[in-house]
Structure 1
């Protein structure tokens, strides 16, 4: 793909207590065939280790900010970074701090805005989490998920959902009526550009003009699970979103800086309900039943992990966190904004 000259673009990395992972990311940025015109590091760490790493290494166009308590947390740090953007920056890219880029990541990602001029946001593609195999058969093998000439293993939760008639009614990356759809991890590594309604915030980019109308919601405090889906939903009235599977990177899920499993389980349910209802203000009774049914199924599967995985305590804590959140939703549901934007 030939790169067409574009306006300037900025990379914002929001980090928390991950100096070693951040350094790996920055070194992969340094090797890029297309280098950011501006790199903004927004550090929410409670110590100086990340600052020390930045000062001990040299990276062009990098500006470092260490935020105080009132600006700590993923969505707050992203909004902080947006407020520091150079006035002539046309595209802003976000990366989680536990990412490693392939050499042409930015070249492919940024060029998408020329290939798809209607795009207001473009997501990258993670290559190291799912094993895909090319497939040319007429029917998809049992236990596999097939799309556009590729196949991958079908997760257990989707196998069970198929038996129960609870499969999502949309393609990967699109938001189904009862939520719990297939994420962009169900798109194959074929180099194509797919139109989507959601993608991961940690491998994302946006035209800077959208931030004149939309900001990251501070409802998603701290770790911010589903904050990316919330933002995508509020972007949809403004234009089209895409994922470019040629803009490739690896995600290593650094353990440090993550919440405990009980809190994580609570966020899966509570924040999941929030984004579902943000997209579907008045779901039908049948849709409500489907959402709760899938949520209860996922709780059941997490309890099963107590017996079929080595991380028994984590699975049990996660499951109890989800149950706690389900009960909480019955007592006091989160308040939704009156408008998406």
Structure 2
């Protein structure tokens, strides 16, 4: 079963990206090709071109074809769609540029497709995502509150996509499980999926939620076809470079999440209540973090940005419902 690896990058975190590519070279089962969508627009690529040319040569020497596509300033969904069209593999594996794969990641990913013929998508397990000391794992009362507020919480061997756009996430996997949506850090799909689905290019730039949107739509088309295996393991380094500033992030998050709520879920009283509870729960969480941090300024700004962004989304709910989701880039300037 052939694999095409697709990575969109701005070359803003070259150290992490090099480690990602090295981990692909070291795989026990190599992909047929790697497609790199270069979205840099500020000279980031030119600054590291020479050292990456060496890595690309190393990949070709290992028998991995390298396609380096320039797509200046393209959104993440556009880059993913471009990669899906170019990919020749039976399986298309989308990776963030700051992940590091364990040596048998691809081998164990493919094993799930072989064992589950109905699988349309398979995801690996991020080993450093959740600490066992997380309060939502250690204290049942907190978990109950988060369940009540639909903020999302952690379980063993379970995943659910909540109407609030948060999730019930597995902090530990002991077996291969079904999922209802995927994280974009590492997600693979059969090539045939893209005959009927594509990533939503209304979501621009960093495109918060594009991964949930695509995978949840696939889940609704083919229930029970998305899997996560504990044996395809990786580390997500979560490099801060290349990520949106806090104010932009919060605004995009609130606007795009409301858009996805309208797009993905039935608009009834129960679902609307759940969505609102999720926003309250998220705001409560960060308010608690602010108060327990010694009232640090950055925590206060986080809460302030959340409130402003929620109000902006609520005030523009009718246009968001219609798919007008990028007005916030102009509106945000008015409240800055």
TM-score, normalized by length of structure 1? 0.81
User: Aligned pairs, how many?
Assistant: 307
Q: 1:25 aligns with which of 2, 8, 20?
A: 20
Q: 1:241 aligns with which of 207, 221, 226?
A: 226
CA distance in 2, matches of 1:254, 1:310: 26
From the superposition, tell whether residues 28 and 19 of structure 1 become closer, same or farther in structure 2 (CA, over 3 Å): same
- Contact 1:144–1:154 at 8 Å: present in 2 too? yes
Deviation at 1:155, TM superposition (A): 9.4
Match of 1:140 in 2: none
Match of 1:332 in 2: 316
Match of 1:122 in 2: 122
CA distance in 1, matches of 2:297, 2:17: 29
Match of 1:101 in 2: 101
Match of 1:40 in 2: 35
- Contact 2:151–2:282 at 8 Å: present in 1 too? no
TM-score, normalized by length of structure 2? 0.82
Match of 1:56 in 2: 54
Q: What SS is found at the alignment partner of 2:90? A: strand
Gaps of 5+ in 1: 1-5, 134-142, 146-151
CA distance in 1, matches of 2:141, 2:97: 29
Match of 1:66 in 2: 70
Deviation at 1:218, TM superposition (A): 1.4
CA distance in 2, matches of 1:217, 1:167: 25
| Structure 2 residue 259 is the aligned partner of structure 1 residue 289 | no
Q: What SS is found at the alignment partner of 1:59? A: helix
Equivalent residues in 2 for 1:137-152, closer than 5 Å:
152=137
Q: What SS is found at the alignment partner of 2:206? A: coil
Match of 2:236 in 1: 251
From the superposition, tell whether residues 265 and 242 of structure 1 become closer, same or farther in structure 2 (CA, over 3 Å): same
Q: What SS is found at the alignment partner of 2:125? A: strand
**Larger deviation: 325-334 or 211-220?**
325-334
Deviation at 1:250, TM superposition (A): 0.3
From the superposition, tell whether residues 78 and 50 of structure 1 become closer, same or farther in structure 2 (CA, over 3 Å): farther
Deviation at 1:325, TM superposition (A): 2.4
From the superposition, tell whether residues 178 and 118 of structure 1 become closer, same or farther in structure 2 (CA, over 3 Å): same
Runs of 4+ in 1 over 6 A off after TM superposition: 167-171
Higher helix residue share: 2
- Contact 1:306–1:312 at 8 Å: present in 2 too? yes
| Structure 2 residue 80 is the aligned partner of structure 1 residue 78 | yes
Deviation at 1:203, TM superposition (A): 0.6
CA distance in 2, matches of 1:154, 1:199: 26
Gaps of 5+ in 2: 324-336
